[in-house]
Structure 1
Amino acid sequence: MSTPMRILAVDDSRTILTLMQQMTLRSTDFEILVADDPREALQRSHQESIDLLIVDYMMPRMDGITLMQRFKENPCHEHVPVLMITASDDVEVRHRALQSGANDFLTKPLDMLEFTTRVRNMLDLRKYQKALEENIELLRQSEERWQFAIDGSDDGVWDWNIETGEAFFSRRWKAMLGYGEEDIANHYTSWRELMHPEDLPLVLWEIQQHLQGKEPVFLVEMRLRSKDGSYKWILTRGKVVERTSDGEPRRAVGTNTDISKRKEMEDYLKDSSDRMRKILDVIDVLVFVVEMSDEGQLLFVNKNVRDLYGDIEGKSCWPYIRTGAEIEQELDDNILLSNQGSPSGENLQWETYDPERKRWHHRKERAIRWVDGSVVRMQVVSDITERKNSVDFLQRSERKYRELFDNMKSGVAIYEACDRGRDFIFKDVNKSAENILLASKEVLIGSHIREHFPGVTESGVLNMLQEAHRTQVSRHYPAIYYSDERISGYFEHFVYTLPTGEVVAIIDDVTEERLAEHELHLAAKVFDNSMDAIVITDENNRIVSVNEAFSEITGYSRDEVMGENPRILSSGLQDHTFYEEMWTSLQKSGQWKGELWNRRKSGEVYPQWASLSVASDNKGQITNYIAIFSDISERKAAEERIQYLAWHDPLTGLPNRALMQDRLERSLTLAQRNDEQLALLFVDLDRFKTINDTLGHHIGDLLLQEVSKRLLDCVRESDTVSRQGGDEFVIMLLNISGPEAAAKVAGKLIDAVAKPFIIDGNTLHTTPSIGISLYPKDGSDKQTLMKKADSAMYAAKDSGRNNYVFAGGEEGERLHHSNIEENS
């Protein structure tokens, strides 16, 4: 049983208090506490929960108004009603009491009927107040839970009232753009003003497509302006969850996802191949990129190679790349490391002679990770014929020195040692050296090397000259980085000493070549460290490379998928037409973006957001397909939960009023087309309020859940049982044979609900009153049918409850009385 309500009565007259106790002696739903001392009354109010205060206006120790004000200082008693009692008929006294917070007034001597009636009215008021406070607290807790879920998600949530333009943006929605809670107004125009002007037409078109019912959702990528003025790429997904009776969209909800990093990665990977080709084409060397295989297929050659040998991409490399036995063994060791997934950073260098063309070449080779993620061999070949000839020439003939010297492609600087070989003075430079060193011959000759190049010590250049002067041994030095205020870059040196003691440095600027290598290394790091999965296939759609994120998301290791077609990931949920359209878009535009449902190695099906693009060679022929995708399982689950809550009653799980209206409208259209009948049953539980008020809302909620189960058991799967709110339910019966069928179901509902309910140890009894309207007999639109079913339900209540009544007509009356006779 529920706890009785408590009344605190305060009066300096013990007679009045005794009279109050006698007046309420037979009441079982409340108890009365009495006090003749206001201070004692205040002390008891701090110890007890009080639902009604009855206080005498005039008392010797403290007047009634002061006592009431001090009583309400306690937050627990802020809304407790107060009944003021006085022996005076003075209107000013009443006005002052009511103005100070009293809810009602009684004049002595007390009339028993009036007193008990006023007391019960005020206790009823308190019951409603407490019920309202409990509901407000439940709503606050529910709002806090959802706000916590929204704030904890990586996605921002928005809720748009299409009719008024008002919009809710979650804290995360604003934070991902750098805005605070008060920075953005709660209106649709706030979102629109943040949109990049170039994206606005497409976004508005996509939204209109969905609002007009042409698309199930609207899904679009756009740029939104952050608080710092920059733009971020955002993926917006939304759906209309409520429409008007005319089918016009009323409310839409959705999410925003920050995809800026993924967009940057897509652009980078898409551009990297073209950028690499352009960079390598302008380098004044021969560049070969070779597949790691016995055949040694040429994956790429730069413009200098094409000018020399023609279009040889796709052919074997061996007619064009020469190696010796020792070099080949070193290459084999290097390749072994590469095949283990760790490209060696070591450069292998050697010189070769082409007797057919009579040219000397300096060759450098290393294993690198190519732009498609695969490990390849890259050989860079420099024509050093002029340098070789120049060395020989300088050593043979001083007379021919100047002509060759001035026309060499490589820069040549001749130094004279000083300070016992610790410093050097420019003695001569050729024109190429002037261009490389950015200084004229007139300025350089006669000056110390440190005067024009202060970084020679830190870069190691000075040490090269000192070593050559000291050892008299010729030596090639790989590229080193030099930088000062005038000049910076990567330079290779070939240093030797003339018989005269002068030191010669042949200098080649290899900055562009080194930057190209850096670009390749950077592309490989992006590939390996991406949080999104990356899959690269060849032109036949066979997987050639995947990154670590791919294995983490799909469960497949790199070795398990190499050479396989990506269709091994397919879940089968999307049909052949879907993939045909995807490939058509990919072939026409070179890219495709959208949602895919794939299957992990474990068999689990999951959603992913994927971006596919095409990589082509300089002839426009497809060489690779690149796919970047991320797992969006958590985001999809959140969207489905939002969708479910928009259409279902949270207490019973039944369709709510909005979903019932939608289904009824669709069913009426279908019934009209197929010339069928349907029935609408309004069900209201009898005496539910009494159960709810006496046993509490918790018991009432459990009863509603059990009633929902019994209602579902009485209808077919094709029918709909919905909760409209409170203890009201609406049931729609499809494709019925006539009124008798509806009456039969109504009888089953009455029998099912009339059986006792055992809830938390309480045996509860309730019955339904049911009103029935029929289509097309009682109306052809949902408003008319619902109105008539509602009126019939009230007629069932008026005729004694626990029965059903049709919406007018003799046939309805006949069935109604027949059912009463059957149940009697």
Structure 2
Amino acid sequence: MPESRTQRKTPLVLIVDDERLMRTMLRDTLEAAGFRVSEASNGCDALETIRQIHPDLVVLDVIMPDLDGFEVCSRLRKIPEMRHVPILMVTASEEREVAERAYASGATDFIPKPINAAHLRHHVRYMLRASLNVEELRQKEQRLAYAQRLARLGNWEWERGDDRLRLSEEARRILALADDVPFLPLTSYLERIHPQERDAIRRGLDQLWQNGPPLALDFRLLRPDGTERFVHGQADRIVDAGGEAVRLVGTIQDISDRKRIEEKLVLAGKVFENSGDMILITDMQARVVDVNDTFCRLTGYGREEIVGWSLGDLLSGQHDPGFYRHIWQTVTDKGFWQGEVWSRRQDGESFPALVSVNEARSEGEENGHYVFTATDLSRLKETERQLHYLSHFDPLTDLPNRLLFLDRLQQSLVGEKRHQGQVAVLFVDLDDFKEINDTLGSPTGDQVLQEVARKIKGCIRASDTVARPGSDEFAVILRELVPGGDAAAVAQKLLDSLATPFTYAGREFYITLSIGIALSDIDGTDPEELIQKAETAMVCAKEQGKSRYVFFSDEMNRQVQERLIMKTSLRRSLERDEFLLHYQPKFNSFTREFTGLEALARWQHPDRGLISPAHFISLAEETGLIVPLGEMTLRKACQQNRHWQKEGYQPFPVAVNLSAQQFGEKDLVDTVCRALGDTGLSPQCLELEITESVILQDTERAIAILKKLKDMGIRIALDDFGTGFSSLDYLRRFPLDVLKIDYTFVRGVVSSDQDAAIVKAIIAMAHSMRLKVVAEGVETEAQRVFLREQGCDVVQGYLVAMPVPPEDVEKYFPLAGGRRDC
């Protein structure tokens, strides 16, 4: 049996496309985003592969030689395991007829060519997240449908492999059980059935597990006080996609007291009215019968106003008729549909909603109802869109920023490695731009940057990338170059594109460029390293007179050789205990009081002296020494903190960074416990800092580990926030205490509107989730004033205190009852 979707930790995506290059591009993009990928080169292979692997999502091309995408999609929907799996169709056409055929054949959504990698990753993540939410909703509504069909009386559930029944409140009352007894052993339940009916009940339940008919029996219950009650019992089974029973559900009704039926109807009404989701009920002709208060509140319609309306009066008009025909056909065939729909409020505003449709009709009944349950997705989508844009794009030029540029460079390097091609990175700097900005003003400077961005984009292909990583800096990725390809020709084209003068407000001036070039097959395949080498070459271009391009040279490569020497030396450093800790104080933004420290490792090299983490952390990660180095840092920080407390200083937290490799160790929690136990430090005096990349590697495992650490009393901080995925979902799910704003955003809060907007958004969002906010890298008083005005809780950086040895940091400490200010 293939691994089920719910058993997988990493989603599995099937790519179906007859073009090998397209399959490779899609695979590279999705694998770089953390997904598992399988491929099929045609429709027939896809149908066979799906029966073997049961993917979580299918990316399906429309135009294929044997079976086109529409036929493949239609056949997939006839496979039981694929009824609810999202299918993303890829098409070169955005015509309405193509969309209608895609939805009519069963597609969840479609995406046009050419495909934007970031858009594809976001689309796939959202469809998978929506699919999981819908699957959970489907299971809940399936149980609700059973309860409705069985009249919402006292009910019970019996899971396969368990020997207990889960009882509802009404069932416990009928059985005269205490309110705190949610479960009852099956044997105890059978013992309460009158002996004359006990065997019949037992046989009926056994047959039900074996696909026997549903039960509907009258029998007697013997209560502990000796009284006898007559009950009517019903039972049925819930099956999985393969038709195997996984749970029995049933009801028992005390038919000696019909009042219980009225109480259950009242309870059902409360559930309807108090639901946080919008609920709308129609008759079989799609006329509105009733809506709940949530529906009225979120749409603006009054109940009396729309009762009797046709459902078509509430449609947004943003879907074609084929989309709605597909919904109704699915409900008619299967009794259920779920998906994302654009709906309409009373004022005409359209909004996205996650909608499920259930047919509510008893067996053999001609008339029934349709129940629509909807969740408003507008705020979630808009928040995620804004945060994603602010974190990945430059608002002035609408180009990718450094973060997105790095991501695309990584994808390009992975793709070209497969095809033995070459990637070139061009680092472009505007010569003497500061003089233009100072002389003509920032508005003119902004116009210049926008015009330069437009001209650079006009010099490269659609498959290449141009970004704006800095104020007057641009970066370019040239893909699919053959080894030895002429990246210089593109650089010269950039220089020539600015040969004509700029004219603003009647003034004419020229802009020139200094360009540095690094090549993947010569200068390495690490994205950061390539950018650094290209930037180094750009500096050389400026030193040689500006308005030119320079390739990274062999002399510049000397730094790489130096790095290899450092790696060799690093392997012996831990054995020789050459590492020590410095501590950087943190202070309250408003009171300026000392609040704690961050422990930072330093390498006391025997020949080179004190080396900062910037020069050895990446080496430690490459050599695998980051794990023992992290354990050493944790133990020394705990030991030093405990020593300060023994010296009479008031207890305070010390923060220690956990690397991705260290977080991935199986015995991480035990390692932390040993460090605290051996040093005698209270868990409340330890704060562990993790990055976004750490918790996204294995989400469920990360949640479990962080909860264990949090339960011990340890504070959890999310470091470098804003430089990664920055998902609201994991902020909600993970047990965090502190959010640390990355210094790259803090550095620009005064000079960059984009960075200021990002920092404001992060602080507001964190406080709304009851998280403390720490800003690192604060170097100027203007930055501190801005952060204090935005409500940032704690600041850290060279402005208030530099990292110093233990003996030098003690001047900041408050003694018992005292305080220290920065």
Q: TM-score range by the shorter chain?
A: 0.3 to 0.5
Scaled by the length of structure 2, the TM-score of the pair is 0.32
Q: Which structure has the larger Rg over C-alpha atoms?
A: 1
Scaled by the length of structure 1, the TM-score of the pair is 0.32
Structure number with greater CO (CA < 8 Å, separation at least 6) is 2
